[in-house]
Amino acid sequence: MQQNDIVESVLVTLSSTGKCSRRALHQFLKSRGFKSDEDLYYLPAEGVAAWQSPAVALLSVFSNAGTVYETEEDIAEGDSEWDRLELEYPICALAREFMAKFVAECDAICSRFALKAFISDESKSVPEIATHLNSIADRTARQFFEPGSEELARMVEARYGR
């Protein structure tokens, strides 16, 4: 990553040493407010501006390095297994106050399924995840604009065509 690059999102990988139930995951995520859309889950962001991300987190499910593609109907009919989750936080598209919600969801999912968290293949505790996100947000604000701001959204759109 170059010093003048904008970090648009941060990917946190949550890994299990064994196989976990997809149905149990589905029920847990739904109980925490996640919505499902085909093969991924997202946690809606409440009260965001039009230029901000509509989701606090996007979550994908994997088994043996492959994506587990299942709809709600598939999950209701049978129970598959997974061993890794990828939780993405759209850091430049949300105001800082959403970071705490994202970190809390990482913590809840890790606690419920006894998972280890990683960022860029480096093991991270929940406080370290929060520190990492704040560090990126601080750098973004210093070099560009505050995360979640309309100015930063315009800059990303102009630079990357989003």
| pLDDT at residue 3, as a whole number | 57
| pLDDT at residue 73, as a whole number | 72
Q: 113: pLDDT confidence band, cut at 50, 70 and 90?
A: very high
Q: Is 117 helix (H, G, I), strand (E, B) or coil?
A: strand
Residue corresponding to tokens 């299942």: 70
Q: 1: pLDDT confidence band, cut at 50, 70 and 90?
A: very low
| pLDDT at residue 28, as a whole number | 97
Nearest to 133 by CA among 106, 96, 107, 105: 96
Mean pLDDT lowest among 59-63, 90-94, 103-107: 59-63
> What would the mean pLDDT of 145-151 be, rounded to a whole number?
97
Mean pLDDT lowest among 11-15, 57-61, 74-78: 74-78
The one-character DSSP state at 146 is -
The alpha helices in the chain, defined as continuous H runs, are 22-31, 72-77, 99-113, 126-143, 150-160
pLDDT digits (tens, 9 = 90+) for 83-97: 999 999 999 999 999
Pair type for strands 66-67 and 122-124: unpaired
Pair type for strands 10-21 and 116-119: antiparallel
